[in-house]
Amino acid sequence: MIPPTLDQVIELAHRLPREQRRQLITRLEQELTAERPQLRPQMTPDEARAALAEVRRAVAEMPQPRLTAGEQLDADRRDRDAALLGRLADTRDDVHS
């Protein structure tokens, strides 16, 4: 089972009533102050390579990133300029062609 991301947990927490969110925060705070950080045993080189391969596989399976807002704006401007100048396929009969 894939553990939820922090954003997913926060989104779920925001769905809780205010009092339950307070209880959640209190419980997490108590757990964090009571527990000591556990040191993970050091990986062997083979384990590290296998972990890296797993991360690479997981990243490769992720959907491709969307354009940033700036990149989208640039693309929209290029499309608009091309349409105004009659360079799009759907404007073939345009007087500016």
For the chain, give the longest Cα–Cα distance. Answer: 75
**What is the extent of the structural domain holding 21?**
8-33
Q: What are 92's two structure tokens?
A: 């073939």
Give domain status of residue 77, yes or no. no
Q: Is 93 left (phi over 0), alpha (psi -120 to 50) or beta?
A: alpha
Structure confidence at residue 95 (pLDDT): 52
Q: CA-based angle 14:10:18, to the nearest 5?
A: 30
In a domain, 16, yes or no: yes
Query: What's the chain's average pLDDT?
Result: 84
Domain membership of residue 63 (yes or no) is: no
In a domain, 22, yes or no: yes
Whole-prediction pTM: 0.34
The reply to whether 13 falls in a domain is yes
Tally of domains within the chain: 1
Q: Is position 50 within any domain? A: no
| pLDDT over 70 (residue 87) | no
Angle at CA of residue 56, ends 50 and 58, nearest 5°:
105
Q: Does 18 fall in a domain?
A: yes
